[in-house]
Amino acid sequence: MSANVEIYTWSSCPFCIRAKALLEKKQVNYQEYAIDGDDVEREKMAVRANGRRSLPQIFINDQHIGGCDELHGLEAQGKLDQLLAV
């Protein structure tokens, strides 16, 4: 079984593209929610993300990770694989 990874994105967002590239490099399956221009979905995301409205917002097993920088920070610290292991 693999971790449940969800990522809220905007299609032209360079940080979203970079975060997805890391997940793909690690061969992680993820559920993407492209919320381009959808204020209702962005508000739902913000509620889940403790008020954060920037993109991407990433969740692993319903735990809010943060954005692209936080995802890459976890990778640099060697902690991302632990979160992805189930």
Nearest one of 76, 68, 64 to 13, comparing CA atoms: 68
pLDDT at 2 over 70: yes
Average pLDDT over residues 75-86: 93
Distance in Å from the first CA to the final CA of the chain: 6
Average pLDDT over residues 59-84: 97
Domains and CATH numbers, the chain: 5-84 (3.40.30.10)
Residue pLDDT, tens place only, 4-58: 999 999 999 999 999 999 999 999 999 999 999 999 999 999 999 999 999 999 9
> Three-state SS for 4?
coil
Contact between residue 76 and residue 70 where contact means Cβ atoms under 8 Å apart: no
pLDDT at 86 over 70: no
